[in-house]
Structure 1
Amino acid sequence: MEYSKLKLNEEKVFKDPVHRYVHVKDQVIWDLIGTKEFQRLRRIRQLGTTYLTFHGAEHSRLNHSLGVYEIVRRIVDDVFQGRPEWSQGERLLSLCAALLHDLGHGPFSHSFEKVFHLDHEHFTQEIILGDTEVNQVLSKVGSDFPKHVAEVIAKTYANKQVVSLISSQIDADRMDYLQRDAYFTGVSYGHFDMERILRVMRPREDQVVIKSSGMHAVEDYIMSRYQMYWQVYFHPVTRSAEVILTKILHRAKELHEQSYSFKYDPLHFYSLFEGNVLLADYLKLDEAVIMFYFQTWEEEDDPVLSDLCRRFMNRNLFKYAEFDPAKEYKKHSELEGLFKKAGIDPEYYLVVDSSSDLPYDFYRPGEEEERLPIHLQMPNNELRELSRQSDIVDAISGKRRTDHKLYYPADFLYDESSKRNIKRQIRSILELD
């Protein structure tokens, strides 16, 4: 039988805390799960440094990837099957793209991407199209199949219905991570009625729409996302850990550029330091590897690198203050000068961090980031954009919320063994005393 149509002799199930079970019937999906590139996702946390704030947030990218696959499987096998607007020939492509959509994420991915100018979506496509076990499985379906999977993930595939299943303002990716992250962090914000949303999803021309009778479930989903960003994803303690992590990577890179002699050769970092990251090098990186280096760097002679690594490993994080860069730039400049006088490098120990989120937006032609709106299908089959029907969504639609905080090591400022008067000035400006 043709490989794409091969079914397992017996359906496999994964027990899942969010969806109860993840069902696998297709040989292709089972083979993809068994590849070393997919199994690598076990060693990368879904939420990066969030485990230092919410101790339960230890779940992996693999957990999430299976969850997204399961949601898409339910949509294409239960909700869309038999509907004339949906091509059943796109089923396997949709399932593979859902399963593999996060394949290129690296350890603590967003920090690494910023410091080393990487793009996880680029590496996702490289894994799918390159000399990998994943590519070998996909190529058995058809010579063009890996290319189509990569196109769905890159949002360039011709059938936008398939793209919107895993990448839109209401997609399987978001529906899984909101519920999964809420479960593992122990918060109540991310819960919404996914069963209802799935029941009212409909394929329509080049998009997936929602029956108008399901509008309130979608409102709940939008508000869940809004709350999760500000209560979990942008939590100031998590951001503090992220700041320290970023500064560790910056410091290690700077030391390498200065020809510093590390006590333990940072072999896994050389391609990152030099901006020439090959796929084979990238696939060797996971969070266990990175944490090994952080642990060894605690013993380095460079005081900044060793201090930052000790802080990260032992959760001795920076404190923070509310900060408005537009209004308080003079205060920041004054603090920079005082930090230097106190012998505390402001480049690494006085950091402004900004968080920003746009919870929902309708399409604005010409904008750099195209955000496909959520459309409601009215009883007469007319489509209406969600915020035109919902007062709740209209109230937050298009409104970007931004938050700025100033991070610093409070313990340094209370150590009065040296520069006592200067540290008191700093504490006074930060209103610590």
Structure 2
Amino acid sequence: MNKLKILNDPIYGFITIPNSLIFDLIEHKYFQRLRRITQMGMSYLVYPGAHHTRFHHAIGCMHLMQKAVNVLRFKGVEISEDEETALYIAILLHDIGHGPFSHAMEHSIVNGVSHEQISLLFMEHLNDEFNGSLTLAISVFKKEYPRNFMCQLISSQLDMDRADYLKRDSFYTGVAEGNINSERLITMLSVVDDELVVENKGIYSVEKFLVARRLMYWQVYLHKTGLVAEQLLIRVLKRAKELAHKGVHLKASRALSYFLNQEISETNFNVVTLETFSKLDDYDIVSAMKEWQYHDDFVLKNLCEMILNRDLLTIKLKKKKIKKELLHSHISALTTKYNISEDEAEYFVFTGEISNQAYQQKGQHINILHKSGKIEDIVKASDQLNLKALSKPVTKYFICYPKVKL
């Protein structure tokens, strides 16, 4: 069987699968599940084109990693065949632990287990299945491999993950501000003292990358409509779990029922849980909501109808913290109008905060390599004053409450 297939991607054109191990991993049911996980969660309610999946993104990341390996080798960086394959596997599987609608699961029916932790569990399980051939990739993914630049290619402030998702999400949403030149960024990469650096010629591409990241967060990832929709989805799952624990029967798929009826945390996330998680995707949640919109429970019914019909809560963004009196007045009005408890009203009236920091000066830097050999952080190397501002977190506060009619 020919395993060196070619895929046609709308962003990069033809993508080649580099070897048979990568092909077998892509073919595996764990990876194929990513076709059924939306890359951008509920953002399609704002940007109708944003229906691309984690599968698209993972394949795109692997393609960019191939480019990065070729560029670095051309510049004299030694990367063995085993290391090359490890990089491809690590970036291909970096998001394999995402649950339905990408982030909503982490805050609702699985307690305190991040998608990174679940990705690692999947990788370890696959490593057993593939006779230890993922060992090196796991070491890179966990940032334990001694060659630091390889770990930075997987996870840093200028990694292949960000290089793909900004360009891809920009394409599918139609938000041109996020369209970065990922190929030029990668072409400018080099390695000095085991650290990833960007050659001085690429400084403007890095500036564009950071500005694009800031704009994409405010305009797309933290868009207030997408934000309120995701908050509603989190509350749908939370309410469903609460009802299931009280013994209320809810129609749901076998995989979703398992998570509704079990208290899953890091300590008991075992092989059975992992296998069940691998059966869970966006379709389980949507089909469940289509059933639950007819449920007797006031909270569950209304939350599901809001998402399915895109008749969402009102959301207001503020620069200052929301006053408790405002929150309580909305809760009080709701309890009186519908004769529900405060706990039930809090599913529809709530506050929160969002933060956007395009570049973090603390931790791993994006370093610029000057012709003199001097290495400098992008904020110091750039004459773009905005970059200093981009390294400071901007926090906004929001309040959500029902429109006049619930």
Contact 1:209 1:377 in 2 (8 A): yes
Aligned in 2, Cα 1:299/1:327: closer, same or farther, shift over 3 Å? closer
Aligned partner of 2:289 among 279, 291, 294? 294
Mapped partners of 1:310, 1:339: distance in 2:
17
The alpha-carbon deviation at position 177 of structure 1 amounts to 0.3
Is 1:104 equivalent to 2:90 in the alignment?
Answer: no
2:157 is matched with which residue?
169
The alpha-carbon deviation at position 10 of structure 1 amounts to 8.0
**Corresponding letter in the other structure for 2:199:** K
Contact 1:53 1:237 in 2 (8 A): yes
Mapped partners of 2:20, 2:253: distance in 1:
40
2:255 is matched with which residue?
268
- Describe the SS at the equivalent of 2:190: strand
Is 1:236 equivalent to 2:229 in the alignment?
Answer: no
The alpha-carbon deviation at position 84 of structure 1 amounts to 3.8
Contact 2:3 2:19 in 1 (8 A): no
Is 1:386 equivalent to 2:381 in the alignment?
Answer: no
**Corresponding letter in the other structure for 2:208:** D
**Corresponding letter in the other structure for 1:395:** K
Aligned partner of 2:205 among 217, 237, 242? 217
Task: Deviation per CA, 1:115-149: give whole Å up to 9, x if none.
Answer: 1323111111111111x4x6533x3xxx3x42332
Is 1:307 equivalent to 2:311 in the alignment?
Answer: no
**Corresponding letter in the other structure for 2:169:** D
Mapped partners of 1:10, 1:407: distance in 2:
50
Aligned partner of 2:72 among 64, 80, 83? 80
Is 1:149 equivalent to 2:142 in the alignment?
Answer: no
**Corresponding letter in the other structure for 1:162:** M
Mapped partners of 2:191, 2:249: distance in 1:
59
Is 1:330 equivalent to 2:322 in the alignment?
Answer: no
The alpha-carbon deviation at position 34 of structure 1 amounts to 1.0
**Corresponding letter in the other structure for 1:268:** A
2:400 is matched with which residue?
407
Aligned in 2, Cα 1:322/1:394: closer, same or farther, shift over 3 Å? closer
The alpha-carbon deviation at position 358 of structure 1 amounts to 1.2
Aligned partner of 1:203 among 171, 191, 202? 191
1:34 is matched with which residue?
27
Contact 2:69 2:84 in 1 (8 A): yes
What is the percentage of aligned positions where both structures have the same residue?
Answer: 30
Task: Identify the structure with bigger relative contact order (alpha carbons < 8 Å, sequence gap 6+).
Answer: 2
Is 1:43 equivalent to 2:42 in the alignment?
Answer: no
1:357 is matched with which residue?
356
Task: Deviation per CA, 1:341-383: give whole Å up to 9, x if none.
Answer: 22364311112132212110223xxxxxxx3100011111121
Mapped partners of 1:135, 1:16: distance in 2:
31
Mapped partners of 2:176, 2:198: distance in 1:
25
1:180 is matched with which residue?
168
**Corresponding letter in the other structure for 2:379:** S
- Describe the SS at the equivalent of 1:412: coil
The alpha-carbon deviation at position 30 of structure 1 amounts to 1.4
- Describe the SS at the equivalent of 2:371: coil
Mapped partners of 1:151, 1:389: distance in 2:
32
Higher deviation after alignment, 107-116 or 38-47: 107-116
Mapped partners of 1:54, 1:227: distance in 2:
15
Aligned partner of 1:320 among 309, 315, 326? 315
Mapped partners of 1:300, 1:148: distance in 2:
49
Is 1:124 equivalent to 2:119 in the alignment?
Answer: yes
Higher deviation after alignment, 117-126 or 50-59: 117-126
The alpha-carbon deviation at position 109 of structure 1 amounts to 2.8
The alpha-carbon deviation at position 394 of structure 1 amounts to 3.5
Aligned partner of 1:248 among 236, 243, 261? 236
Mapped partners of 2:41, 2:335: distance in 1:
31
**Corresponding letter in the other structure for 2:354:** S
Mapped partners of 1:9, 1:327: distance in 2:
59
Aligned in 2, Cα 1:135/1:185: closer, same or farther, shift over 3 Å? farther
RMSD: 2.0
- Describe the SS at the equivalent of 2:42: helix
**Corresponding letter in the other structure for 2:203:** M
Mapped partners of 2:40, 2:400: distance in 1:
21
Higher deviation after alignment, 194-203 or 8-17: 8-17
**Corresponding letter in the other structure for 2:295:** E
Which has the higher Rg, Structure 1 or Structure 2?
1
Mapped partners of 2:197, 2:93: distance in 1:
24
Contact 2:170 2:177 in 1 (8 A): yes
- Describe the SS at the equivalent of 2:8: strand
**Corresponding letter in the other structure for 2:255:** H
The alpha-carbon deviation at position 9 of structure 1 amounts to 6.2
The alpha-carbon deviation at position 213 of structure 1 amounts to 1.5
Mapped partners of 1:61, 1:152: distance in 2:
21
Is 1:280 equivalent to 2:272 in the alignment?
Answer: no
Aligned in 2, Cα 1:178/1:358: closer, same or farther, shift over 3 Å? same
